[in-house]
Amino acid sequence: MPTIKYKRILLKISGEALAGEAHRGLDFAVIHEVCEVIKQCHDLGVQIGLVIGGGNFWRGVKDGADKMQRSHGDAMGMLATLMNAIAVADALEKHGVPARVLSAVEAPKFSEYFTRDAADRYLNQGIVTLFACGTGSPYFSTDTGAVLRGVEIEADAILLAKNVDGIYSADPNVDPAAVKFDTLTYDEVLARHLKATDTTAMTLAMDNHMKLVCFALKEPSNILRVVCGEKIGTIVKED
Ligand code: UDP
């Protein structure tokens, strides 16, 4: 049985990653693959907090732009994250993994209201805990929500499963000379404006000494590899 490096993790998955090739909506084959790997981590005794973005349905700025007042657009984005959390919690339960949705915005028909202590209790019970609606406030991202929840639950690391396999010196889709970093400090990411998370999320991680591991979700088994301490993607930490 593999040994685990991180006992309690906060896993962040972008909404778009759940949409598969369509880039919109939900691809249940992808969700199934992700749930299989989460189950493997869960079976190893890893306590898993999960934040899922909402970009597969709606992003406040990108989709609302000048057509909507920002807070209204962001409210729709937060609701999108709740839809994703409900879908993934349902899929996890179908895989035999207990799951609960805790929402930063009260939605008692669909989820429990988030409190840090409820999350801690569920995680200690081996229940995968999904944090919906980001921070609960507009003008934030789910990356920031993920770091916030990661800090609150005192996670050992935040795993950022993205569309790229790490942090690069430039956009690898545009610049063929872009170089991937193995490790970076928060200061380096911020000073060089590297594309990792938004600045609010990065500074929150820095202020709270929270380690970030950025890697590609394309191979969902990467989640397990990171949990077991394999060095893939890019690690952002103090030194
Ligand atoms: N959002 C928000 N506050 C938060 C988190 C998210 O208003 O604390 C809204 C915002 O409009 C954002 C959308 O929810 O664009 C979806 O989140 P995000 O863009 O981070 O999703 P991802 O790109 O990870 O799928």
Distance 146 CA to ligand 1 centre (A): 11
Q: Say how far apart CA 171 and CA 180 lie, in whole Å.
A: 10
Axis-axis angle for helices 28-43, 70-94 (nearest 10) = 60
Residue nearest (by alpha carbon) to ligand 1 atom 15: 59
Q: Using CA atoms, how far apart are residues 161 and 179, in angstroms rounded to an integer? A: 19
Q: Is 197 a pocket residue for ligand 1 (Cβ < 6 Å)? A: no
Question: Tell me, what's the pLDDT at 28?
Answer: 96
pTM, whole model, 2 decimals? 0.97
| Residue whose CB lies within 8 A of the most ligand 1 atoms, among 57, 71, 81, for a mutation test | 81
For the chain, give the percent of residues with pLDDT over 90: 92
Q: With beta carbons less than 8 A apart as the criterion, state whether 151 and 210 touch.
A: yes
For the stretch 144-201, pLDDT in tens is 999 999 999 999 999 999 989 999 999 998 999 999 999 999 999 999 999 899 999 9
The per-residue pLDDT for range 67-113, each reduced to its tens digit, is: 999 999 999 999 999 999 999 999 999 999 999 999 999 999 999 99
Which of 52, 68, 78 gets mutated to test ligand 1 (max ligand atoms within 8 A of its CB)? Answer: 78
Look at residue 1 in the predicted model and tell me its pLDDT: 77
* Alpha helices, DSSP H, located in the chain: 28-43, 70-94, 116-124, 142-152, 186-191, 199-207, 221-227
Q: What confidence category does residue 65 fall into, taking pLDDT thresholds of 50, 70 and 90?
A: confident
**Which amino acid appears at position 81 of this protein?**
T
Yes or no: say if 157 and 46 are a contact pair by the CB < 8 Å rule.
Answer: no
Residue 8 has pLDDT above 80, yes or no: yes
- Tell how far the Cα of 44 is from the centroid of ligand 1, in angstroms: 31
Q: What is the pLDDT of residue 206?
A: 98
* Closest atom of ligand 1 relative to the 136 alpha carbon: 8
**How confident is the prediction for the chain on average, in pLDDT?**
96
